Structure 1
Amino acid sequence: MPKIKKLFVTPLYHAALSDIGGSIDPDELEASCYAIAEDDEAGQQWSEENGYPGYTSYASLTDLGWRSPIFADLIKLLDAHVAAFARDLAFDLDGKELKLEDIWINILPEGGIHTGHIHPHSVISGTTYVALPDGSASIKFEDPRLPMMMAAPGRTKDAPEELRQFAYVAPKVGDVLLWESWLRHEVPMNMSEDDRLSVSFNYAWT
């Protein structure tokens, strides 16, 4: 009988922050995000100059855990989730650790998008979700082999998810998604009148 193996899996970790112990008040986290954004003139300027819709602290702040106690609590939870994901990935870390390298706020208003990108020089990247109004869109992941599929036909509409060339994930407030940093992803347009808030981060091997 023919035997088909599914090789070269692309894992995606999806959990509630509270699944691993501890909890974060989403209202308090949202208020903290807006307070930091309001004070971060450098981040506002960078977002405007670089065509980023809304606001991100990606290029301006590196100390969110110091600025707000709730971010310090969030980082502790993220550390635990990333450690669990690394074990599932069977990483040989050679006695070293995956440590938080960057963490930043994203406020995406109506009409805002974040086009396809990867996170170079990191091992695991991810996002936790603070506010997701209806119509604010899922996150879209791209098959990393797509550039090599020069002559491959498209997939049928009812193809299994693991065979599709793009995957859409609809998280909930309080969820965390983790993936290997080389995985290309994007945020489709926010169709809601309200802001979509998230906190993204990178972990490096040090």
Structure 2
Amino acid sequence: MTRTLFATPLYEADLSGKIDLNELAHSIHVLAEDDEAGQRWCEEKAYHGYTSYASLDDLPMRDPAFGDLKPILQKHARTFAKELAWDVKPKLDSLWVNLMEPGAVHSAHIHPHSILSGTLYIDIPDDSGAIRFEDPRLPMMMAAPMRDEEAPEHLRPFVDIAPKAGTLLLWESFVRHEVLPHRGETERLSISFNFA
């Protein structure tokens, strides 16, 4: 008998019919145009596009579109927490927008000081770069042999998810992830967040 231990769950939901993607896209573009501190940070860090990650921490109070989104994200985070058998109700800790221009990438990282992280995809052109998740055990697999290319998803060292507009993904914050190169022709818009 073989048992699967230490699973790494990924929560996925389709919000495309439940939120106004066009209103959120408009809000992202307004922020990208008006947030001078965010523009400076992006320039200093060579971020190919715009993010409010290091400049604005009050988006749900600043813009009704994000204010309306907050309880929806909260509900999904609490559903996921129940699926994880957690005895806690996650609270939204931070929320930021991402506007990636063609050619952009986002290197592998985790989200310290939070328990759940996630992204809601607003406008995802073709070839805009999947999000890649890394098996958290990978650093400990020093002598592990290569996996068969057709290995089931739960046995792969990396799993790529190509989201669509309206896709919501949530994961435990310790899971390393990255955005692969954006080879599309238009901007890739998303909203990312952390729960504590």
Q: Which category of TM-score, normalised to the shorter sequence, fits these structures?
A: over 0.9
1:45 aligns with 2:27: no
CA distance in 2, matches of 1:185, 1:15: 18
Aligned with 2:76: secondary structure?
A: helix
Aligned with 2:91: secondary structure?
A: strand
- Counterpart residue identity of residue 45, structure 1: R
Match of 1:119 among 98, 111, 122: 111
Give the CA RMSD over aligned residues. Answer: 1.0
CA distance in 2, matches of 1:126, 1:170: 14
Aligned with 1:98: secondary structure?
A: coil
Residues 154-185 of structure 1, C-alpha deviation per residue, up to 9 Å, x if partnerless?
A: 10111111100000111111110000000000
Paired position in structure 2 for 1:185:
177
Paired position in structure 2 for 1:7:
5
Runs (5+) with no aligned partner, structure 2: none
Paired position in structure 2 for 1:169:
161
- Counterpart residue identity of residue 43, structure 2: E
**% identical aligned pairs:** 56
Q: CA deviation at 1:92?
A: 2.1
Paired position in structure 2 for 1:81:
76
Paired position in structure 1 for 2:126:
134
Q: Write the mapping of 1:6-85 to structure 2, written as runs, cut at 5 A.
A: 6-17=4-15, 23-85=18-80
Contact map agreement 1:24 1:70 (CA 8 A) in 2: no
CA distance in 1, matches of 2:110, 2:103: 22
Q: CA deviation at 1:17?
A: 2.3
Q: CA deviation at 1:37?
A: 1.4
CA distance in 1, matches of 2:15, 2:195: 17
Contact map agreement 1:139 1:187 (CA 8 A) in 2: yes
Q: CA deviation at 1:131?
A: 0.5
Q: CA deviation at 1:137?
A: 1.5
Runs (5+) with no aligned partner, structure 1: none
> What's the TM-score once normalised by structure 1's chain length?
0.93
CA distance in 2, matches of 1:198, 1:139: 12
1:108 aligns with 2:100: yes
Bigger CA drift: 115-124 or 44-53?
A: 44-53
CA distance in 2, matches of 1:17, 1:88: 19
Aligned with 2:97: secondary structure?
A: strand
Which aligned segments of 4 or more residues in structure 1 are displaced greater than 2 angstroms?
Answer: none
> What's the TM-score once normalised by structure 2's chain length?
0.98
Contact map agreement 1:17 1:77 (CA 8 A) in 2: no
CA distance in 1, matches of 2:77, 2:122: 18
